[in-house]
C-alpha cells in the first residue's frame, strides 16, 4: 500500500512537474485522482500507456465550465488532503477552484501550486519552460562546456526544482494540517526550487571554491578526476575519483606515475592532466575498462545509455527498473522496509475512472447520471461516442 496509504490528493491536469510530484506521491501509496478537462490538449505526447509520469493513479473528467461540475469537484475537495494545480497565477481563481474557494470547503486542505516563476513577481504571468526558469537561477549557466551552456534535460527545473519540491511541500503541509487542522497554500516555483539545488555552488562562490566559469570546478567537468572520457569504441567511462584514498586505487590500476600525476595537483594543472589521462583511456573500449577497473573501488563506471542501463547487473538485482504494461521504467523510490511501494496502475485513460471515483466519494448512481446528463462529467465511453458521432 505504501507509506502514504490513506492520503488523498487531487491533481488538476497539467504537464511536467505537476504530474512528477503526483507520481512521487502516488508511488508512495497516496490515493491520487487526476482531474481531467473535457478535452485533453494535444501536446504531442506519446500514447497514453507510455506516459509513465501518470502511473499509479485514477482519472475523472469534470467540466469546470458547468456549475454542476464545480460543485462535484468541491465535494471531492471536501474529502481530500491535498491538491496539485499547474496553471498560471489566477487561472484557478477565475474557474472558481482557487485556494480561497477550496479552503472554504475544506479548511484543512493543502493547496499545492506549481509554476515556473511563482505566484508573484514581474514574470509571474509570463510563459516559459524548464530552460526558461533555470536560465535565471544560475543553473543553466553552470552546466555545459567552457564554450557554451547545455540544457540539462528537464531535470533542474521541471523535476528536481519543481515536482520534487512540490511533493515535499505538500507532505510538510499535510503533516502540519493534521496537527493543527489548518491547511495552507504551497507556492512551489521552479525558479525557487532550482535555485535551492544550487545551494552548494552558491555557498562556494564567495570563497573561490566555486568559480563562476563552466568547466573549471571540481564537479562540472573541470577536474581531471571528475569527468567523462572517450574510449576506443567511441563510448565513454566516467571517472569520479575525488578522494585521495580512492585515487590511489586508480593510480595503481592504471600505473600512473605519481611524479607525473598525483591527487593534490593545483587547478592550473587539471587541463594537462586530463589530456594525459584521456590518452591512456582511449586505448581500450568502454567495456574493457569497466571490466578491468570496475572492481577496484576506483570510482570508474561505464556511461550506459537508456537501453543498457536497465540491464546492468546491479540495477537488475536491486530492481531499479521494472516493466509494467510493456514499458520499462524506473521503479518507485525511495524504498520502505515496512510499507513497500510498487507500480500498480497503468497511466489512466482520459477520465477512465469517473464513475468509480465519484461513487467512492459518496455520489449516488442518480447523482452521477444527472451530472452526465448536464455534461458536467464524462468518461472514456462518453468521449468515444461523441467522437464517433
Q: Which of 36, 81, 130, 158 is catalytic?
A: 158
d(CA 39, CA 378) in angstroms, rounded, equals: 10
Q: What is the dihedral of CA 334, 337, 338, 341, to 10 degrees?
A: 40
Using N-to-C axis directions, what is the helix angle for 17-27 and 164-180, rounded to 10°? 60
Contacts of 145 (CB under 8 A, 6+ apart): 214, 215, 221
End-to-end CA distance of the chain: 41
Alpha helices in the chain (DSSP H): 17-27, 67-77, 91-95, 99-105, 130-136, 139-142, 164-180, 190-197, 199-204, 244-254, 270-281, 286-293, 313-318, 354-360, 365-373, 380-388
Dihedral over Cα of 309, 314, 316, 322: its sign: negative
Max CA-CA distance within the chain? 84
Dihedral over Cα of 11, 15, 20, 21: its sign: negative
Edge to edge, what strands does the sheet with 236-240 contain?
226-230, 236-240, 300-302
Determine whether 233 is an active site residue.
no
Cell of 13: 491536469
Cα→Cα distances 305→142, 235, 312, Å? 23, 10, 11
d(CA 182, CA 176) in angstroms, rounded, equals: 8
Is the bond preceding residue 275 a cis peptide, omega within 30 degrees?
Answer: no
d(CA 55, CA 329) in angstroms, rounded, equals: 10
Cα→Cα distances 369→139, 145, 221, 382, Å? 51, 60, 61, 12
Catalytic site residues?
Answer: 158
Amino acid at each position: 500500500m505504501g507509506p502514504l496509504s490513506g492520503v488523498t490528493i487531487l491533481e488538476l491536469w497539467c504537464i511536467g512537474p505537476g504530474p512528477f510530484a503526483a507520481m512521487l506521491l502516488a508511488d508512495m501509496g497516496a490515493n491520487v485522482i487526476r482531474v481531467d478537462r473535457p478535452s485533453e490538449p494535444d501536446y504531442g505526447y506519446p500514447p497514453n500507456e507510455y506516459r509513465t509520469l501518470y502511473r499509479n493513479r485514477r482519472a475523472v473528467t469534470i467540466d469546470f465550465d458547468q456549475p454542476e461540475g464545480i460543485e462535484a469537484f468541491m465535494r471531492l475537495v471536501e474529502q481530500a488532503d491535498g491538491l496539485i494545480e499547474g496553471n498560471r497565477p489566477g487561472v484557478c481563481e477565475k474557474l472558481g477552484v482557487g485556494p480561497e474557494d477550496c479552503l472554504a470547503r475544506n479548511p484543512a486542505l493543502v493547496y499545492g501550486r506549481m509554476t515556473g516563476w511563482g505566484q508573484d513577481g514581474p514574470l509571474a504571468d509570463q510563459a516559459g519552460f524548464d530552460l526558461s526558469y533555470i536560465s535565471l537561477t544560475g543553473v543553466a549557466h553552470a552546466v555545459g562546456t567552457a564554450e557554451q551552456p547545455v540544457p540539462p534535460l528537464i531535470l533542474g527545473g521541471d523535476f528536481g526544482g519543481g515536482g520534487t519540491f512540490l511533493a515535499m511541500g505538500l507532505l510538510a503541509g499535510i503533516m502540519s494540517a493534521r496537527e493543527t487542522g489548518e491547511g495552507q497554500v504551497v507556492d512551489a516555483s521552479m525558479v525557487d526550487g532550482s535555485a535551492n539545488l544550487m545551494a552548494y555552488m552558491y555557498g562556494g562562490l564567495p570563497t573561490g571554491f566555486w568559480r563562476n566559469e563552466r568547466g573549471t570546478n571540481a564537479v562540472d567537468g573541470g577536474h581531471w578526476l571528475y569527468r567523462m572520457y572517450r574510449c576506443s569504441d567511441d563510448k565513454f567511462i566516467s571517472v569520479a575519483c575525488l578522494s585521495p584514498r580512492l585515487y590511489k586505487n586508480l593510480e595503481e590500476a592504471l600505473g600512473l606515475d605519481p611524479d607525473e600525476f598525483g591527487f593534490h595537483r593545483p587547478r592550473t594543472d587539471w587541463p594537462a592532466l586530463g589530456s594525459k589521462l584521456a590518452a591512456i583511456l582511449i586505448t581500450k573500449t568502454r567495456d574493457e575498462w569497466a571490466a578491468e577497473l570496475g572492481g577496484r573501488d576506483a570510482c570508474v563506471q561505464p556511461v550506459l545509455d537508456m537501453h543498457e542501463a536497465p540491464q546492468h547487473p546491479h540495477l537488475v538485482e536491486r530492481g531499479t527498473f521494472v516493466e509494467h504494461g510493456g514499458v520499462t521504467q524506473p521503479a518507485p523510490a525511495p524504498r520502505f522496509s515496512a510499507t513497500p511501494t510498487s507500480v500498480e496502475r497503468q497511466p489512466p485513460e482520459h477520465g477512465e475512472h469517473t464513475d468509480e471515483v465519484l461513487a467512492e466519494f459518496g455520489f449516488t448512481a442518480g447523482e452521477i447520471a444527472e451530472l452526465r446528463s448536464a455534461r458536467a462529467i464524462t468518461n472514456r465511453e462518453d468521449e468515444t461516442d461523441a467522437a464517433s458521432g
